[in-house]
Structure 1
Amino acid sequence: MAVFDHLGITVDDLPRAVAQFDAVFAALGFTRFDADNGASWQREGEPEFIVFAAREPGTGPHRHGRVGWQHLALAVDSPDEVDRLHAIAVDSGWTVVRAPKKYPRFTDRYYASFVEDASGIRIEFMFNPPREAAAD
């Protein structure tokens, strides 16, 4: 049984967040489910991702580096997939934090990009194959 079942985050502008996250999660093969005060995305074998409207509007955005959310890393199958998802996110209104590039300080195989939405929610698209797979 998986340890992580779901991840819920709170956003200032729910319609905007749904549109931005939907572009990314749809590209990853997740299905969206709408609710009265939020939306969620699910894909078999993966934890559910949920966005909720803030109970107190105007309390955002979250500031990276403060207590709370840091970022969510989404592992993908290739550097090309990092590039593709990065472009989809940017086209959907995400702000570029770091453009796609190699991160040799992590491993010599690590390739990633970072984007942030209007609520200060940061996600990373990353490719870091096991050493054996990288040799292929």
Structure 2
Amino acid sequence: MPLLDHLGITVEDLPRAVAQFEPVLTALGMERTDGDASVSWYVSDESEIILFPAREAGTGPHRHGTVGWQHLAFAVDSREEVDRLHDIATSAGWTAVRPPKLYPRFNERYYASFVEDDNGIRIEFMHNPPKESQA
């Protein structure tokens, strides 16, 4: 059983959010399914990310650092994959918060980038190989 079953994210403009999330989640190997009032992406029918339209217009964007959502980190297999996903996200309209780089404050192997969409939703692409692997 997966640790995380699903994550629902409320967005101001569903079509715009789908346009930003689609290339990123597809590149991560997720498959899209459209619902009546939402759009979902699945990984092997185990974990799901769902975008929902806001119940009240004009309530966004989320402000990073306030109570609530901080960021979601996607672990990937290489630094090159971090770079590739960062490029896909910024090409889809995500804003680069931090470009791909090493984060020695975590450890000497931690390589990551952070991007944010129009709704203030922040995601991280990260590669943190085991200590014995210097990949």
The answer, yes or no, to whether TM exceeds 0.5 is yes
> Which AA in structure 2 matches 1:72?
L
Q: Which residue of 2 aligns with 1:66?
A: 66
CA distance in 2, matches of 1:15, 1:23: 13
Q: Which residue of 1 aligns with 2:26?
A: 26
Tell me the CA shift for residue 83 of structure 1.
0.3
Tell me the CA shift for residue 108 of structure 1.
0.5
Spell out the pairing of 1:17-96 with structure 2 (5 A cutoff): 17-44=17-44, 46-96=46-96
Question: 5+ residue gaps in structure 1?
Answer: none
What stretches of structure 1 move > 6 A for 4+ residues in a row?
A: none
Tell me the CA shift for residue 43 of structure 1.
1.2
**SS of the residue 1:81 aligns to:** helix
Paired residue total = 135
Tell me the CA shift for residue 3 of structure 1.
3.2
After superposition, the CA RMSD in angstroms is 1.2
- Spell out, residue by residue over 1:51-71, the C-alpha distance to the aligned partner (whole angstroms, 9 max, x if none): 100000110000000011000
> Which AA in structure 2 matches 1:4?
L
Q: Which residue of 2 aligns with 1:115?
A: 115
- Spell out, residue by residue over 1:63-117, the C-alpha distance to the aligned partner (whole angstroms, 9 max, x if none): 0000110000000000000000000000000011000000000011000000000
CA distance in 2, matches of 1:57, 1:119: 12
> Which AA in structure 2 matches 1:73?
A
CA distance in 2, matches of 1:90, 1:4: 26
Q: Which residue of 2 aligns with 1:131?
A: 131
Q: TM-score, normalised by structure 1?
A: 0.95
**SS of the residue 1:70 aligns to:** coil
Identity of aligned residues (%): 67
Q: Which residue of 1 aligns with 2:100?
A: 100
